């Protein structure tokens, strides 16, 4: 396979709103009827033990792969990792995995074995930068699911982002830190502004994408902020509402213990302390980007 490495840095950022799902349907009446929606104050104790699962990704370089028709196709050479932290009286890293991949729509793409790492091919359904980034995001999410599934004994498993590739993990809770999408109908959105730290919304059902899940919003403490700051969304695979209610209360109570503060974490309070520490460790495990690029250039030259 003939390819070239683009001269400028490849990490130009992912498209916003990667959690958006077309055709999603919302049912807000599963726990409480819409007419009675209001913030729910959680009084349940936090989980005595919780598993936090997260991943990081980095584009090492943009590649141009020579196609049979002579038109080069864009590819991302990327490194990504996933790990897990178990918290009780202390935080302990209990799993970490690192992968590297070539993300492209070029059917003739081959895996690359450089002096500093091996990149496996992952074909994407399109060649736009957004499609390539979604391919990378999807593989990182799959790896997070692998790490989470290795520790099913934890009473609470918080995985970063929507469940999607992690829905097979028992008791997994998807933890969405940023809110790019309005899931609630417009008439219920004022409830979000009424939430206070330690409160959550009633459950609502999200359908679409071939599966259903129960979701809720919760509020973390953040001093001197607007009404919407400190908001997170969580979700579980659809099941009994009574069971999901218990998980929602347990999750809301537990994340209060680990909410970060602005002087320590720029993404406070949503980027919980165990997640922030795990991300720093995983980025270190990705290795030096310049070494990865050097290996790719040497391989391209040969």
Q: What is the pLDDT of residues 157-166, one digit of tens each?
A: 999 999 988 8
Nearest-Å Rg of the Cα atoms of the chain is: 21
Q: Give pLDDT, residue 102.
A: 97
Predicted model pTM: 0.89
Does residue 57 register a pLDDT over 90?
A: yes
Confidence label for 12 from pLDDT (cuts 50, 70 and 90): very low
Does residue 55 register a pLDDT over 80?
A: yes
Where in the chain does DSSP place strands (E)? 3-5, 25-27, 40-41, 50-65, 73-87, 91-104, 112-113, 118-123, 157-160, 172-176, 199-200, 204-208, 211-219, 231-237
Residues 6+ apart with CB under 8 A from 80: 55, 56, 57, 58, 98, 99, 100, 101, 136, 139, 140, 143, 286
Residue written as token pair 């840095």: 9
Residues 6+ apart with CB under 8 A from 17: 180, 181
* Helix segments in the chain, DSSP class H: 129-149, 190-194, 241-258, 273-285, 289-301
Q: Report the alpha-carbon distance of residue 145 to residue 152 in Å, rounded.
A: 11
Does residue 13 register a pLDDT over 80?
A: no
Residue written as token pair 């310049």: 290
Q: Give pLDDT, residue 24.
A: 78
Phi, psi torsion values for 116, nearest 5 degrees: -120, 0
Averaged pLDDT, 93-101: 97
């Amino acid at each position: 396979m003939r390819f070239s490495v683009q001269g400028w840095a490849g990490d130009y950022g992912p498209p916003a709103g990667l959690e958006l799902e077309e055709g999603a349907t919302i049912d807000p009446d599963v726990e409480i009827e819409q007419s009675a929606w209001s913030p729910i104050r959680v009084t349940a104790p936090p989980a005595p033990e919780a598993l936090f699962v997260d991943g990081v990704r980095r584009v090492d370089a943009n590649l141009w792969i020579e196609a049979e028709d002579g038109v080069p196709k864009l590819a991302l050479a990327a490194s990504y990792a996933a790990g897990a932290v178990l918290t009780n009286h202390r935080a302990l890293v209990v799993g970490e995995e690192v992968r590297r991949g070539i993300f492209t729509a070029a059917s003739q793409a081959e895996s690359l074995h450089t002096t500093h790492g091996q990149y496996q091919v992952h074909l994407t359904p399109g060649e736009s930068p957004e499609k390539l980034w979604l391919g990378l995001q999807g593989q990182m999410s799959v790896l997070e699911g692998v790490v989470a599934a290795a520790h099913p004994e934890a009473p609470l498993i918080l995985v970063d982002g929507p469940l999607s590739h992690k829905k097979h993990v028992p008791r997994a809770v998807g933890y969405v830190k940023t809110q790019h999408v309005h899931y609630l109908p417009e008439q219920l959105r004022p409830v979000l502004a009424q939430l206070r730290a330690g409160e959550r919304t009633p459950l609502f059902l999200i359908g679409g994408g071939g599966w259903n899940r129960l979701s809720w919003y919760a509020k973390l403490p953040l001093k001197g902020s607007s009404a919407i700051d400190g908001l997170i969304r969580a979700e579980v695979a659809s099941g009994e509402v009574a069971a999901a209610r218990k998980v929602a209360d347990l999750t809301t109570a537990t994340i209060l213990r680990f909410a970060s503060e602005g002087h320590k974490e720029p993404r406070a309070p949503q980027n919980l302390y165990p997640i922030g520490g795990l991300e720093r460790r995983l980025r270190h495990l990705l290795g030096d980007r310049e070494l990865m690029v050097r290996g790719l250039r040497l391989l391209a030259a040969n």
